[in-house]
Chain A
Amino acid sequence: MELFLLFISAAIINNFVLSMFLGICPFIGVSNKFSSALSMGMATTFVMVITSVVSWLIWFLVLVPNNLEFLQIPAFILVIASLVQFVEMFIKKVSQPIYRALGIFLPLITTNCAILGLALLISMKDYSFLEGIFFGLGAGAGFTLALIIMAGIREELELADVPKPFRGAPITLIVAGLLALAFMGFAGMIS
């Protein structure tokens, strides 16, 4: 039950994009089409879950016992970069259609701060191994949810008459602000 609550809390209440500002770049960059938003969300969720497993292992089994905490940032970033590369190769080998669908989104994930943020938060909050996995799963689900909602709104927005200076990034940010307001309604759902 607690794990489920952790999942819900990471996905909706403390949504990575709308309340913790992690992964804003892909949120603004890739949210103009529904299909690409969905692919990006899936790819990110996939990498997030693997990252939470691997970073937990590295942090609690390698770095902390050896008093190497100061190596945290370089270690995590290198692990994430190679992990993304590995995942890309794996998907390419296993399933060509998925690989083609995810295509350019996979390398982009390396510089998504939501991934590194997830790894850092897991080490900061001292989650257990299972908690870490559920936290990663929730974070990925929340990221996908925000991205999909945003893409849906932006597809409608194409037809709207937006003042010229506000086209592109500014209106996206304002819409995101309104979305964040809506998501605030979930606060207090779990005390």
Chain B
Amino acid sequence: MKKQVTLLKEYTKGLWEINPVFKQVLGMCPTLAVTVSAINGIAMALATTFVLVLSNLIISLIRKLIPPQVRIASYIVIIATFVTIADLVMKAQFPELSKALGPFIPLIVVNCLILGRAEAFASKNTPIRALMDSLGNGTGFLIVLFIIGGIREIIGSGTLLGFQIMPQVFEPWLIMILPAGAFLTLGLLMGLANFYVESKKSKERESIIQKYRSSKQVQLTEPGV
């Protein structure tokens, strides 16, 4: 029997532990493509979260009705429905954002993050857990997209969310808002994230070794006394 984790844990694990971009390396296309500015990143992440949460909720609710042979096809139909809703709402309410994001709103349908969470989590867990899990993953996705979009916008055009941040004398690095900048930023950020995890792990390992050594010394010295 798997150990039951608290609902809060289902939410927080998506933020870092299984962060969609850094840890699962899912949903790379939108991560790279739309993060020219922070606002685009936020809009994309919100649209993705909307689809992720609602489709996972529905999938979790009807998970016992779907025959396993056709489950992937049924998931895709459910996801496509919500993507269509998101796409039409964006087109009607935020035409400029919708134009800036181009084909990437309809492309949420093939974002592996959504199908991945549906297959790995929502199809095996209760609706409330699936809800927390998808909210957590959505938030994790939002954070990453905001960070990358923010970095690229600050360095590439000197603004954040449209406000001038860098001093006027700062010459924006055009490369950051071009495709190459997206690859470089994400690559470096991922490397940094790995570096952080790695150093934390080695510290833990060292402390365990230290503990083991000190306990061994005690054992070694004790019989001799």
Contacts and interface: CB of A to CB of B under 8 A. Distances in A.
Interface of A: 18-25, 28, 70-74, 77-78, 81, 111-113, 116-117, 120-121, 124, 163-166, 169-174, 176-178, 180-181, 184
Interface string B158-197: 0000000000000000010011111110111011101100
Contact of B191 (A74, A165, A178): A165
A25 B112 contact: yes
A111 B110 contact: yes
A20 B29 CA distance: 9
B109 interface: yes
Contacts of B83: 73
Interface in B66-88: 73, 76-77, 80-81, 83-84, 87-88
A177 B106 contact: no
A173 B33 contact: no
Nearest to B175: A181
A77 B80 contact: yes
Contacts, number: 117
Given A74-B84, A184-B178, A173 B29 contact: no
Contacts of A111: 110, 112, 115
B107 interface: yes
Contacts of B87: 73
Contact of A73 (B109, B182, B183, B191): B109
B107 A117 contact: yes
B46 to A, nearest CB: 18
Given A72-B106, A116-B107, A177 B187 contact: yes
Q: Is the interface of A mostly helix, strand, loop or mixed?
A: helix
A21 B187 contact: no
Contact of B103 (A23, A112, A120, A164): A120
22 contacts: A20-B179, A21-B182, A22-B29, A70-B84, A71-B84, A77-B80, A77-B110, A81-B73, A113-B110, A163-B191, A164-B198, A165-B192, A165-B194, A169-B187, A171-B191, A172-B187, A173-B184, A173-B186, A173-B187, A176-B183, A177-B181, A184-B179
Sorting the interface of chain B by its residue count into under 10, 10 to 19, 20 to 34 or 35 or more gives 35 or more
B187 A70 contact: no
Contact of B183 (A77, A116, A124, A174): A174
A24 B175 contact: no
Contact of A120 (B29, B73, B107, B112): B107
A120 B190 contact: no
Given A117-B103, A184-B178, A74 B80 contact: yes
Nearest to A166: B191
A167 B79 CA distance: 34
Contacts of B191: 163, 165-166, 170-171, 174
Interface in B183-219: 183-184, 186-188, 190-192, 194-195, 198
A28 B28 contact: yes
Interface in B132-165: none
B106 A170 contact: no
A177 B152 CA distance: 14
Contacts of A23: 29
A180 B107 contact: no
B81 A113 contact: no
B187 A171 contact: yes
B29 A113 contact: yes
